[in-house]
Amino acid sequence: MNGARDDVGARDSGLVAELRAARRRFSVEFSPAHDEATAARQWRAVQRLAPLRPVLASVTYGAGGGDRAGSVELATRLARETTLRPLAHLTAVGQSAAQLADVLDDLVAGGVRDVLALRGDPDGDPHAPWEPHPQGLEHADQLVRLARERGVRAVGVAAFPAGHPDSPDPDTDLRHLLGKFAAGAGFAIAQLTFDVEDFLRLRDRLAAAGCDAPVLPGLLPVTSPRVLEVTRRLTDGHEPSWLHRRLDPFLDDRGAFREEGMRVALEDGRRLLAEGVEVLHLYSLNAASNVEALVAELGLGAPGG
């Protein structure tokens, strides 16, 4: 496994090398906007966060590739009009291998050379049995290889600290993740992290398997009941019970709810940094203020940023 990792690192001289060298940095995630008001707010957030110099700006793809056009448009606009380094999400759901190759070609032509390769959840029901497109791909490692073939520089993949819902046990889950790295992935972004211990155990198990690929934990400040619903979607409905115990007493007080949500995120961020995690992946929800607060309080950002 070490040999495979060395080969991947040699090919990924850009983003992966920067992730390896990063010290107290952050990445940020955006989603395609579905109306003009959200698009305007999103671009204001982009302009406010770009000077903080995140190591990357990821752009989600949507269930079943539902945001395909918007995702490609936003990622290429980031590449064209900002100093940010876009990371375009891509899922295998509902698309043939030829269609996926076309999306990859559009991204590369638009200046986006880094991709997060995901199998994705079934369209319409994330808990339904996985069924690949008849001319599509079955697993994320196949998408990693396809991205490599279409000229993508760095390929990231998803990691699941609490285990993927389809994995019967931790060993199977780890084997699948290692397979994605062996296929050519250079780094991973972990599913939304609330249980820091789960993330640290995953990191330790990867290290024990001889894999030193960077893995970024996802951090989302739960600052409103609406955001709490977002966490339910991002964690497949398995957000921890302790989070509700912390937040539920403030459901009728918007200000107090936000303060407690930020307090939880800062506690998790400080613990991760204290454990040697150098890059935190921050969900923006297409707004800047919470990300700015976390970056300031946790001392993130590139020197001179």
Query: What are the backbone angles phi and psi of residue 90, rounded to the nearest 5°?
Result: -145, 130
Query: What are the backbone angles phi and psi of residue 116, rounded to the nearest 5°?
Result: -100, 110
Length of the chain: 305
Q: Alpha-carbon distance 174 to 233, whole Å?
A: 23
Look at the alpha carbons of 126, 127, 132, 134 in this order and tell me if their dihedral is positive or negative.
negative
Q: Alpha-carbon distance 194 to 218, whole Å?
A: 9
Q: Which residues pair with 89 in a beta bridge?
A: 116
Q: What are the distances in angstroms from CA 218 to CA 13, 32, 231?
A: 24, 19, 11
Q: Alpha-carbon distance 19 to 60, whole Å?
A: 20
Angle (CA) 134-68-292 rounded to 5° is: 135
Contacts of the segment 37-40: beta carbons below 8 A, 24+ positions apart: 38/286
Q: Alpha-carbon distance 186 to 27, whole Å?
A: 16
29 is annotated as an active-site residue = yes
Catalytic residue among 18, 29, 239, 278: 29
Residues marked active site are found at: 29
